[in-house]
Amino acid sequence: MTVQKPVLLTGASGNLGRMLARELAAQGYRLRLTDITPFPDAVPEGATFTRADLNDGLSIVQLAEGCGAILHFGGCAVDMPFETVIGPNIRGLYHIYEAARREGARVLFASSNHSIGFHERPQGNEARLDATCEFRPDSFYGLSKAYGELMGRLYWDKHGVENLNVRIGSSFPEAVNQRMLSTWLSYGDLARLCAKFLDAPKVGHAVVWGASNNPATYWGADHRDRIGWQPEDSAEIYRDAVGHKTSGNPVIERYQGGDYTGNGYSRAAPSPRDPFALDE
């Protein structure tokens, strides 16, 4: 571990935040935990917890004071209406980056595959998406994640704030359906990714696909070499149990974003692969 300054972890009361608080504290990182809801577990040794709203810029600035890095897992974590998403995921992210700029801290942004969810799933030997692919958000949630990555781009270009955008696939204790054979990210691989980010000498502005070492992955080249991260786990151990479990919905099964693509879907026919083409 090379990071000596405290690390601010937002969204600490969520499933991923609780796991990261436990794992990173055990490795000796000094954590400042925050969330809008109470922390449901015993606060790990060497960590503190403060309830705060991402909409409250002053609170975020105060929490980030003296920190060397911010692990930003806070905000709406699922598909929700625009008016719900806009506060924590749009305004709140601005407060995170302003705090990082003031402190000279780097940011790990928990982005999502839903920022590119309307890309079609690759078939056969078709090329996998690389990290420079176009955004094709599948929901207001996914749109907020695309915004978050662009916020990181702005703050790197304009202020030199280093940031890593992790496009998380499906981070759960285990894979539960066929899609997750491609998108699953184990808790262990996520915790190791965060630790590598904290210890990396230089990050710049980077994007990493947040998935374990899954042979069926939808995703290809990214910037993981910058932090020296390689996933160790694989969803293949779940293939026999979940390989047959699909939604049965042709829209959901067509696109990488899964369920979110089908929520409120009203097109009569699928949109073309070329995002600027006329309907096929």
* Average pLDDT score over residue span 22-39: 97
CATH assignment of 7-262, among 2.40.340.10, 3.30.70.600, 1.20.120.160, 3.40.50.720 = 3.40.50.720
- pLDDT greater than 90 at residue 4: no
- pTM comes to 0.96
The letter for the amino acid at 19 is: M
Domain ranges of the chain: 7-262
Element (H, E) at 95: helix 92-103
Rounded to whole angstroms, the Cα distance separating 277 from 279 reads 6
Interval 216-259: pLDDT, tens: 999 999 999 999 999 999 999 999 999 999 999 999 999 999 99
Quickly count helices (H) and strands (E) in the chain. 10, 7
Provide the angle, in degrees to the nearest 10, between the axes of the packed helices 187-199 and 15-26. 60
* Average pLDDT score over residue span 38-42: 97
For residue 29, the model assigns a pLDDT of: 97
* Angle at CA of residue 58, ends 154 and 145, nearest 5°: 35
Task: Assign 3-state DSSP to the chain and report helix, strand, coil percentages, each to 5.
Answer: 35, 15, 50
Q: Where are the beta strands (DSSP E) in 58-186?
A: 69-72, 106-112, 163-168
Of 191, 188, 209, residue with least CA distance to 199: 191
Tell me how far apart the 2 most distant CA atoms of the chain are, in Å.
Answer: 57
Q: Write down the mean pLDDT value for the chain.
A: 96
Task: Tell me the catalytic residues.
Answer: 141
* Angle at CA of residue 182, ends 260 and 174, nearest 5°: 85
The two tokens of residue 246 are 């699909």
- pLDDT greater than 60 at residue 3: no
Interval 137-169: pLDDT, tens: 999 999 999 999 999 999 999 999 999 999 999
Gyration radius (Cα) of the chain, Å: 18
**DSSP secondary structure letter of residue 42:** P
* Average pLDDT score over residue span 18-26: 98
The two tokens of residue 34 are 């925050």
